Structures are given as C-alpha cells and as structure tokens.
Amino acid sequence: MSPAPDERDRIQAAMDRILTGTHERSNGALTIVALAIEAEVPRNALTQRHTDLKNAFYDQVRARGGTPDVETRLRKKVVALKTTIANKNAELALLKADAQGFLAENTRLTLENQELRDVLSNKASNVIPLRARQTPRDRT
C-alpha cells in the first residue's frame, strides 16, 4: 500500500506547526509520536515510510538546542509521578503482607477458639446435676 499523496505534505506542515509552537492536534512535544498525531498519520509512517522526514525533524529539534519549557516541565512531572507510583507500590506490598499476617492470625485464633469450645462442650456433657432445679412454684 503506497502512502497517501498528501502524507508527506501533512507531515511537513505538522513539523512546521510543532516547531513554531502552533500545534493544533498534538500536545506539541518534540517527539515523533506528537508529530504523527499532529500530521494525522500513523507513527510507522514516520519510522518506516518517511524516515527522511523523521530524521529532518530530529535534526531541526537538535538545531534548536533543546526542548521547550512545557516539555521539560512535563518530563519532571512524569519523573515525580513515577516516584509516587513506586512509593505507593511499595506501600501496597507492605499492606498486602500485613493483610496476609492478619489473615493467618485470624485463622489461628479461630482454630484455638473452636478447640476451646470443644473442650467446654465435652466438660458440659460430663457434668451431672446434684438435684433438679426447683421452680418458684415448687418452693411454696
């Protein structure tokens, strides 16, 4: 399947919009993914069919001398969120371990309780009352 005739034109127009900060469809990041979204083409159009445009885009990004402030802030936020996720995952692992411990202790106590009930029920069957209970009417 050959690329759409205007695919290259859309990619080049998208490159211009992203590099000038006037993106319309993407988040404006200086990445191939953002470029593909901006050009409304599949990512593999840039990585397989139009590698020359992909390389030209990367060359222009490098020539600018860095990444925009928005992207830098987003990357810092991503790092902070990944740290938060790692901390929450560690906390979750501890809570799961605690829950397993509580479950084991609950099982042990339930078994112990059942053993005590069994002991009490056996003693109750061995008890013989010395005399029959008297009701209030019998005493009068």
Q: In this predicted structure, what is the pLDDT of residue 77? A: 94
Delimit the domains of the chain by residue range. 7-64, 68-124
Here the tokens at position 31 are 């990445």
Return d(Cα 28, Cα 99) in angstroms, integer: 45
Per residue in 122-133, pLDDT (tens digit) is 765 555 667 766
Per residue in 38-91, pLDDT (tens digit) is 999 999 998 899 999 999 998 888 888 766 666 678 889 999 999 999 999 999
Residue 140 DSSP code: -
Return d(Cα 24, Cα 31) in angstroms, integer: 15
Global pTM exceeds 0.75: no
